[in-house]
């Protein structure tokens, strides 16, 4: 097993542990939202990821990519983006709370060929207050790279982003 695979398995295990521990607590607030829109960079400036579907929700609202928590507490959010595009370049994905970048939340994936896609994940835990707003942000080093969708025949759509979050305390 090579080191990158170990790191991936370690991250997956940690996410599973967090999911299991959240299952023990009362899930008073949760959200799953997604986007079925392709969102490609036109320049290297950061852009808020737009989401057009609230798949499940209780006490957390999402409106066009802006997530608002309706109670104070510790929350876990995980954003998984399908990244690729029409060019080669670097895609980055991170979180903001109330318009401020969250420290150490940035992730990146190099797109080596326009036919290449990957899942880019950014996750974190934050103490939030009622009314706080969480957004997912992406940037692309070149025009034409970013968040993509796939529509495999006979299967569900692969959305450009899936965001899950819940209160953990």
> Which runs of E-coded beta strand occur in 4-63?
30-35, 39-40, 47-48, 53-58, 60-63
Within its chain, how far is the Cα of 167 from the centroid? 16
Range of the domain at 107: 29-167
The HSE-up count of residue 153 (CA atoms within 13 Å, CB side) is 0
Task: Check which CATH number belongs to the domain holding 109 and give it.
Answer: 2.60.120.40
Name the phi and psi angles at 4, rounded to 5. -60, -35
pLDDT exceeds cutoff 50 at 39: yes
21 is a domain residue: no
* pTM recorded for the entire structure: 0.83
Say which range, 5-9, 17-21, 61-65, 151-155, has the weakest mean pLDDT: 5-9
2 is a domain residue: no
Q: What's the number of domains the chain is made of? A: 1
Q: What is the pLDDT of residues 85-126, one digit of tens each?
A: 999 999 999 999 999 999 999 999 999 999 999 999 999 999
pLDDT exceeds cutoff 80 at 10: no
159 is a domain residue: yes
pLDDT confidence band for 130 (50 / 70 / 90): very high
pLDDT exceeds cutoff 90 at 8: no
99 is a domain residue: yes
Query: Stretch 52-64: mean pLDDT, rounded?
Result: 96
Tell me which residue has tokens 């954003």.
79
11 is a domain residue: no
5 is a domain residue: no
136 is a domain residue: yes
Query: Stretch 122-141: mean pLDDT, rounded?
Result: 97
10 is a domain residue: no
What DSSP character marks residue 3?
H
Distance from C-alpha of 47 to C-alpha of 135, rounded to nearest angstrom: 10
Distance from C-alpha of 70 to C-alpha of 79, rounded to nearest angstrom: 20
Q: What is the pLDDT of residues 15-35, one digit of tens each?
A: 544 555 544 445 689 999 999
């Amino acid at each position: 097993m090579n080191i990158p695979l170990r790191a991936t398995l370690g991250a997956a295990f940690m996410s599973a542990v967090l999911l299991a521990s959240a299952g023990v607590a009362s899930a008073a607030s949760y959200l799953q939202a997604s986007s079925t829109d392709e969102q490609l960079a036109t320049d290297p400036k950061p852009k808020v990821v737009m989401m057009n579907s609230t798949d499940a929700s209780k006490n957390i609202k999402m409106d066009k990519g802006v997530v608002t928590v309706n109670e104070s507490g510790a929350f876990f959010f995980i954003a998984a983006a399908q990244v690729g595009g029409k060019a080669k370049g670097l895609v980055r994905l991170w979180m903001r709370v109330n318009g401020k970048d969250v420290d150490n939340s940035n992730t990146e994936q190099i797109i080596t060929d326009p036919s290449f896609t990957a899942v880019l994940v950014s996750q974190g835990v934050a103490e939030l207050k009622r009314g706080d707003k969480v957004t997912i942000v992406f940037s692309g080093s070149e025009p034409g790279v970013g968040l993509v969708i796939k529509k495999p025949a006979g299967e569900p759509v692969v959305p450009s982003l899936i965001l899950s979050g819940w209160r953990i305390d």
